[in-house]
Structure 1
Amino acid sequence: MMTNLFSVFDPSTTIFSLSLNWLSTFIGLMIIPYYFWFMPSRINFIWNKIINILFNEFKILLGPLNKNNTFIFTSLFTLILFNNFLGLFPYIFTSTSHLTMTLSLALPLWISFMLFGWINHTQHMFAHLVPQGTPAVLMPFMVCIETISNTIRPGTLAVRLTANMIAGHLLLTLMGNTGNSLSMILLSLLIFGQIALLVLESAVAIIQSYVFAVLSTLYSSEVN
């Protein structure tokens, strides 16, 4: 029995005191080799179409000189999307609902962007601290505000993804726990609501992975 509603997100699968829940993050690596020798299916064509669309969009955001960097962000989108969808299946650990996972993705990217920008484009990074047209009186305040907003970027990226994953799963858990005490009519309505919420969560899984990848791309484009 759950002592806490948030305990549904706790890693609980252990063998020899080793947490095996995080291995769900790497299940996708077992699927990748099949793409190289299986006959292409409709799913392959659809997925390649999606990746090409993302590649072209990220290429516009990054510019022609950094178009090769788009592979990093398309891979990031694929990883987050796969883990978001895995969490919708019963008894599968949702790694993207933990800040350990999301911060591990956001923080190294942000640190690498900052190091690259301040080392190679120092004047450009200083110019970003003061928006164009700012009055001289407000410049010190704008530098503080821009510095704070720039510093909290990895935190906002990580918390946004984690909070959206937790919110939907908690709602599904709360609705599912009330099924034992309902009549057949209310139970049928509950099942319909659960299916509708699951469809919504599928859309949220796609949107949040897209938002994470796009914002990372925008942060990268600012330092060039």
Structure 2
Amino acid sequence: MMMNLFSIFEPSSSIFNLSINWLSTFLGLLFMPFMYWSSPSRWSLLWSKLILTLHKEFKALLQPSHLGSTMLFIALFSLIVFNNFLGLLPYVFTSSSHMAMTLSLSLPLWVTLMIFGWVNHTKHMFAHLVPQGTPVALMPFMVLIETISNIIRPGTLAIRLAANMIAGHLLLTLLGGTGPSLSLTILSILIFTQILLLILESAVAIIQSYVFAVLSTLYTSEIN
């Protein structure tokens, strides 16, 4: 039963033994040309307002020397939120529910920050391992704890995003699978519940994209 349930996340469609499910990651590019018409639409105005708001949010979190990085995190947010929403559509592969994608986003970012920080700001990186005011006796333990918490950062970013996408899809699939065996009254309640869950999943899609981008921004701000 569990293998059949989790099979909804398996990239099964293929041509000449090449998986085509991952092409859904690039479906967001189809929406981009509509933003460049001479007369802006409501969609393009809404998206421009969202980008400006995110720019202000990330600008407040970053150091003055890293302000140019806001566009990087806006692009990261855009990629994740597009994939999260596309995964809610029927028969569209949810690439953001796979660690192959989420870890591919978080791990290179973390490795790049670590290399940049330790090469250019070595003393500052060492200072981060021991919080200010730590007793001398606890310093070795704090260094160990801070090192472990730093190492697991890309994993927590990737697992948080993938787990939230998987949980919502599994719940929708479980409830939807019980529909044929229910009476008309209970079925109407189930449909109403599914609509509420879809609204909740839409909110989760935005929130998880924002959390991923904000945490990445906070990790960048620590590299002074």
The interval holding the TM-score normalised by the smaller chain is over 0.9
Other-structure match for 1:99:
99
Q: What CA distance in whole angstroms lies between the structure 1 residues aligned with 2:107 and 2:209?
A: 16
SS in 2 for 1:56: helix
Q: What CA distance in whole angstroms lies between the structure 1 residues aligned with 2:164 and 2:47?
A: 24
Per-residue deviation, 1:43: 1.3
Other-structure match for 1:201:
201
Asked if the contact 2:12/2:21 (under 8 Å) is kept, the reply is yes
Structure 2 unaligned residues grouped into runs of 5+: none
The TM-score normalised by the length of structure 2 is: 0.97
Other-structure match for 1:142:
142
Per-residue deviation, 1:30: 2.4
Q: Deviations over 1:15-72 (max 9, x none)?
A: 1111000000011122223322352011111111111010011011112221111000
Percent identical? 69
Q: What CA distance in whole angstroms lies between the structure 2 residues aligned with 1:93 and 1:38?
A: 33
Q: Which amino acid aligns with 2:59?
A: K
Other-structure match for 1:118:
118
Give the count of matched residue pairs: 224
Q: What CA distance in whole angstroms lies between the structure 1 residues aligned with 2:71 and 2:105?
A: 15
Asked if the contact 2:161/2:212 (under 8 Å) is kept, the reply is yes
SS in 2 for 1:4: helix
Runs of 4+ with >3 A deviation = none
Q: Deviations over 1:172-196 (max 9, x none)?
A: 0000000000000000000000000
Q: What CA distance in whole angstroms lies between the structure 1 residues aligned with 2:77 and 2:3?
A: 34
Q: What CA distance in whole angstroms lies between the structure 1 residues aligned with 2:23 and 2:213?
A: 22
Other-structure match for 1:79:
79
Other-structure match for 1:26:
26
**Structure 1 residues 197-206 or 34-43, which shifts more?**
34-43
